[in-house]
A and B are shown apart, each in its own frame.
Chain A
Amino acid sequence: MSDGTDVTLDEVRARIRAAGLPIPEERLGLVHGYLRDALRPLRAFDARAARDLEPAVTFDAAAPEDPDGGR
């Protein structure tokens, strides 16, 4: 997802339904805020332009020289 758009309330409701989690409607604003802020950098990220960027799944604080294709 790299269309740069924000998460909508309808999308939050759809995600809650899909996950089957009992998040009450009165907490929707809180949850929406978390999702929107957390996903903003991901939606601004064009993954096609960084195909060689590998995830930090085995995290090491001593960084590799170049995670963007440094293999």
Chain B
Amino acid sequence: MADDALCYAGIAELGGLFRRRALSPVEYVQDLLGRIERLDKTLHAFVTLTPERAIADARAAEAALRRGEAGALAGIPVAYKDLYATRGVATTAGSALLADWVPAEDSTCVRRLQQAGMAMLGKLITHEFAFGIQFPGHRFPAARNPWNPEHVPGGSSSGSGAALAAGLTVAALGSDTGGSIRGPAAFCGIVGLKPTYGRVSRAGVVTLSWTLDHAGPMARTVEDCAHLLQALAGHDPADPASSPEPVVDYLAGLRDGVRGLRVGVPRAYFHEGLAPEVAAAFETALDVLRRLGAAVEEVEIPSIRVAPAFMVIMLAEAFAYHERDLRERPELYGEVAREKFMTGGLFTGPEYVQAQRLRARLVAETARVLQRVDLLATPTAVGPAPPFSVVWNPDYPFGRSNMPPFNLTGLPALALPCGFSPAGLPLSLQLAGRPFDEATVLRAGQAFQEATDWHRRRPPV
């Protein structure tokens, strides 16, 4: 790449260069493909590269740009988590079960981004069925964290996080059932948005848990996530959970700042077991929001401690999806993932119902809190990315997480960089908002990024 910094350029900057003909989308894609070839041998972010498709997409975008018919995303390189169906391109879900699946149709999200003129670089590795981490010897090697390849990039959108942090793509899609967009965003120092349940179509995205799965964008800046959400959001009859709620302009008020916004800080549950550096970075982030004019106040969500019931719902639904294969072809599941999925078959029907009742209470209580404040702020992860040597233990527990409460409630939640650990690993702030109020969540995230430079730091790749 003529200017290596360009591999970290954002959508608006690239779009401007494309429009002024200062940079060709075709040459840019070719340069990124070369960078992937160079760096992905060790990062393993991509499971499938589609260079011919990328160049063809870029050529089509270049022609549209010349005709003056191109939108903001024309020619912008994108890569998809390998859970998203892509027409004519293998979609493995990180599993041996689907290793040979070549979908006949694009998922709705992929179709919308392709229609917006994006150039598809390839498919990004996911944890097996968005759930089971890849142990050594797995059919698909685990992606590595560009900040330190001995540490995990988070999951399950592991390839999406790693590729963005290493400057291998400009945009990516992830999916989030219990934090799979926000976790990799936190561990890789990038931005991930889990939109409101129903805001972005899940049609054509391999299911983990019907009532918890969310599709959403990942990028290096809040602004780029807003651009992507603009193209992704909207009703889709192919997704039974898709909402008819009108789509607003996510870019119009993006730079309106946080002055006058009320930010609630729920400490109970969300601050238990935090690494000291996470706690310190979070308090500094709150100071930034205060300095920008937000009113920060403590709030309580009385039933937040029901959050671990999330596992009953997720595992029971995942088991329902996988039961036949688990019983008939268990050898095709990875080590440990198989037993994790099978755990979902051990809950009783009444236990699933009780978990959904507790969830209903949490949804209502959180909504009441959000009548008083505009946003909730928490640390995204309780610590920085752990090393593979720790998580490659079959008995490694899930542990408490700050992300599933927003899958249970379906609220929009944004993860964005807010610091670094003493070991140089990224730390992250989570901002959640009211249903379908992604605009306010993004606006606060944008204000934070205009006042800080954590998102501009680059890993030593």
Binding partners A and B? yes
Does residue A9 face the partner (Cβ distance < 8 Å to B)?
A: no
Chain B residues in 8 Å Cβ range of A57: 353, 356
Chain B residue nearest to A21 in the complex (CB): B342
In the complex where A63-B364, A67-B361 touch, is A30 in contact with B436 (Cβ < 8 A)? no
In the complex where A61-B363, A67-B360 touch, is A23 in contact with B342 (Cβ < 8 A)? yes
Q: In chain A, residues 15-51, which have Cβ atoms closer than 8 Å to a Cβ of chain B?
A: 15-16, 19, 21-24, 26-27, 29-31, 33-35, 37-42, 45, 47, 50
Chain A residues in 8 Å Cβ range of B308: 37-38, 40-41
Chain A, interface size category, equals 35 or more
A68 to chain B: closest CB distance in Å?
7
- Contact, CB under 8 Å: A42 / B354: yes
- Contact, CB under 8 Å: A30 / B305: no
A31, A39, A50: the one contacting B339 at CB < 8 Å is A31
| C-alpha spacing A29/B435, complex, angstroms | 38
Chain B residues in 8 Å Cβ range of A26: 394
- Contact, CB under 8 Å: A63 / B367: yes
Chain A residues in 8 Å Cβ range of B398: 34, 37
Does residue B355 face the partner (Cβ distance < 8 Å to A)?
A: yes
**What sequence of 0s and 1s flags, for each residue 349-377 of chain B, a beta carbon within 8 Å of any chain A beta carbon?**
01101111111110110110000000000
| C-alpha spacing A15/B348, complex, angstroms | 9
Does residue B311 face the partner (Cβ distance < 8 Å to A)?
A: yes
Chain B residues in 8 Å Cβ range of A64: 360, 364
> Which of A37, A38, A54 has the largest number of chain B CB atoms within 10 A?
A38
Chain A residues in 8 Å Cβ range of B312: 38-39, 42
- Contact, CB under 8 Å: B364 / A66: yes
Does residue B28 face the partner (Cβ distance < 8 Å to A)?
A: no
In the complex where A21-B345, A34-B340 touch, is A61 in contact with B196 (Cβ < 8 A)? yes
Does residue A65 face the partner (Cβ distance < 8 Å to B)?
A: yes
- Contact, CB under 8 Å: A35 / B361: no
In the complex where A38-B311, A55-B353, A56-B363 touch, is A62 in contact with B436 (Cβ < 8 A)? yes
Chain A residues in 8 Å Cβ range of B343: 23, 31, 34-35
Chain B residues in 8 Å Cβ range of A38: 308-312, 315, 347, 355
| C-alpha spacing A15/B342, complex, angstroms | 11
Chain B residue nearest to A2 in the complex (CB): B354
Does residue B330 face the partner (Cβ distance < 8 Å to A)?
A: yes
A37, A50, A62: the one contacting B357 at CB < 8 Å is A50
In the complex where A55-B360, A59-B211, A59-B241 touch, is A41 in contact with B346 (Cβ < 8 A)? no
In the complex where A23-B342, A63-B366 touch, is A30 in contact with B357 (Cβ < 8 A)? no
Chain A residue nearest to B306 in the complex (CB): A41
Given A61-B410, A67-B364, 16 other A-B residues pairs in contact with their CB atoms under 8 A: A27-B339, A30-B394, A30-B395, A34-B343, A35-B346, A35-B347, A37-B311, A37-B397, A41-B306, A41-B309, A42-B358, A54-B360, A63-B366, A67-B360, A67-B361, A68-B364
**B residues adjacent to A (C-beta < 8 A):** 196-198, 211, 241, 305-312, 315, 326-327, 330, 336, 339-340, 342-343, 345-347, 350-351, 353-361, 363-364, 366-367, 394-395, 397-398, 409-411, 435-436
Can you list 26 A-B pairs with a CB-CB distance of less than 8 A?
A1-B350, A19-B342, A21-B327, A26-B394, A30-B339, A30-B395, A30-B397, A31-B342, A34-B311, A34-B343, A38-B310, A39-B312, A41-B306, A45-B357, A45-B358, A50-B357, A53-B357, A55-B360, A56-B357, A56-B360, A59-B197, A59-B241, A61-B198, A61-B363, A61-B436, A65-B364
